[in-house]
Chain A
């Protein structure tokens, strides 16, 4: 149970950073922390006590394996996370070029 709570705390750390930080790069980092807390949760739910890595071994037939599906899902989600983070950083650098700052209080053209 404690791992699930830690996972949730990691999510809250990310959320806290997302809400309170003013720097674009720090916001991206906070978003990544949130993302990885969800990935961690996904991996944890696939864990089975005394299970081993899900690689088929012909000699041992009665082996308990951990659930491989969440692991595959996490790999896919990491790829997606990579794309999102790269996109965010590219936009952040472009914003820096236009505004000469990473501070979101100064980047406020759009209102209403």
Chain B
């Protein structure tokens, strides 16, 4: 039953994208209705799968080609705990962003293209997280990022085009590095199935060739995830895109095509090694610290939020890296589990609050047509809903209880202390404080100072679809704090942590050995 549900996550948004291109020209308003409906359905479906999943993995062989002598032939789609968490946030943020777009995108022409590209991007991301085959993963990744290149340039003004060109050049280099790494892996193992590769790597001795491939993969997917030495494209691209798309890019895309793949490959495919995990921890720490230091001087709201995305992703990578290092050393499995759970928890939280912050920025831009903090002020009077939700998101991102960001950061810091990385724990606290300062600046200049913009008409609150999306996300910021309770955390995040901790179990469900 669950197995045959898996391809729906890829087929449905793909069909919707082309249906919009065909029927959208003839039926007015078709695209506005169908996209949120389809994404709502996917959200419900993924929640259903998440709640009914008792740490099982489901696999699906495309074309019905079953493995012969334990050698997988078909392309496998795999749905386990870790995938399900990603599926839930992709569909959820996708639904809210598309609902928000109903009023936001009305000022642009060619709405059909916008919704079709959004559906394609979701197809790509769902495919990446479901795929159990390296090359298939690459193809879905390209579908997602090519759609995002077009969406970044959607405004077709100077800045958007320049950002999109920069993004495409760096994204293109990343793609070739990834393809090169996949070719090297194929050369060594003569297979592309992730589970099969992991079995072959276990039985053969690790050499420098493997380390080279791992470094290539870290740089390739690090470019896609905008870790610090590779971050140059992110602030431009994420701040130039239309706001719902910024929410999708920052909230979901860099996780699905960057962080998810790194975590999946280094936990489930390669054998954990100390050097690589120290490299991952270093990249995470650098992203965390430098990202926030670059953010604090920004006056463009969306650029500020984009730099914070780098910094918050640093938390996730750092925490997961600590888990990987402890696994490589083979000590303290409970602390490793806690660190991984903290990283995944923060990833989910970041999707919600960063999505909400970008939607807030979009609402402000929708009304007063500026992104510069110095030209705003006093908006809490005119736009109470935007102000309130943005306050919730700001408190959440800077780690103030009882919002979700506090609990995930707390878990990460506890895990770092228990693993005796006191410096990293201190840095995490320090970055959190700077984040708080930066968001106090955002709140003060945008909502509480005196008016700096000059306009004749009165500023109104944004239309209902935008308020609805922002309110739901604000509520989710509170609801996700429930994951801090160990029982609920084990129920939701437990299966994901299990999958990552036991590489053997992952291979067993796919190729049955």
Contacts and interface: CB of A to CB of B under 8 A. Distances in A.
B146 A98 contact: no
Contact of B168 (A34, A88, A109): A88
A42 B179 contact: yes
B158 A109 contact: yes
A108 B172 CA distance: 20
Interface centre among A24, A35, A109, A110 (most CB of B within 10 A): A110
B74 to A, nearest CB: 13
A95 interface: yes
Interface string A89-112: 001101100110000000111101
Contact of A70 (B176, B186, B240): B186
A110 B232 CA distance: 11
Interface string A33-54: 0110010011001000000000
Contact of B183 (A41, A76, A84, A110): A41
A98 B176 CA distance: 30
Nearest to B177: A38
B56 interface: no
A35 B139 contact: no
B186 A95 contact: no
Interface in B304-319: none
A107 B142 CA distance: 26
Contact of B162 (A31, A45, A109): A109
Nearest to B307: A112
Interface in B150-179: 150, 153, 156-159, 161-166, 168-169, 172-173, 175-176, 179
Contacts of A1: none
A61 B168 CA distance: 47
Given A45-B187, A94-B153, A84 B168 contact: yes
B135 interface: yes
20 contacts: A31-B172, A31-B173, A34-B173, A34-B176, A45-B183, A70-B186, A76-B135, A80-B146, A84-B172, A84-B175, A88-B168, A91-B149, A91-B153, A91-B168, A94-B153, A94-B161, A99-B158, A109-B159, A110-B162, A112-B303
B236 interface: yes
B139 A80 contact: yes
Contacts of B230: none
A110 B169 CA distance: 15
B176 A41 contact: no
Contacts of A77: 138, 179
B438 to A, nearest CB: 15
Interface of A: 18, 24, 27, 31, 34-35, 38, 41-42, 45, 69-70, 73, 76-77, 80, 83-84, 87-88, 91-92, 94-95, 98-99, 107-110, 112
A87 B150 contact: yes
B480 interface: no
Contacts of A80: 139, 142, 146, 175
Contacts of B173: 18, 31, 34
Contacts of A94: 153, 156, 161
Instruction: Name A's interface SS.
Output: helix
A45 B175 CA distance: 19
B298 interface: yes
A92 B233 CA distance: 17
Contacts of B158: 98-99, 109
Contacts of A24: 165
A92 B298 CA distance: 28
A112 B159 CA distance: 13
Return the 5 tightest CB-CB contacts between A and B, nearest first.
A45-B187, A80-B142, A110-B236, A42-B183, A95-B161
A27 B169 contact: yes
Contacts of A38: 176, 179-180, 183
A37 B240 CA distance: 32
Nearest to B294: A112
Contacts of A99: 158
Interface string B254-276: 00000000000000000000000
A109 B150 CA distance: 19
A91 B236 contact: no
A112 B175 CA distance: 25
A110 B159 contact: yes
Contacts of B159: 109-110
Given A42-B183, A87-B168, A107 B162 contact: yes
A42 to B, nearest CB: 5
Interface string B343-380: 00000000000000000000000000000000000000
Contacts of A35: 172, 176
B150 A112 contact: no
A54 B176 CA distance: 26
A31 B138 CA distance: 18
Contact of B169 (A31, A41, A69): A31
A108 B164 CA distance: 13
Contacts of A95: 161-162, 165
Contacts of A34: 172-173, 176
A95 B156 CA distance: 9
B146 A91 contact: no
A24 B166 CA distance: 11
Contacts of A112: 235, 297-298, 303
A92 B162 CA distance: 9
Nearest to B192: A69
Given A88-B169, A99-B158, A110-B163, 8 more contacts: A34-B173, A76-B139, A77-B179, A80-B175, A98-B157, A110-B240, A112-B297, A112-B303
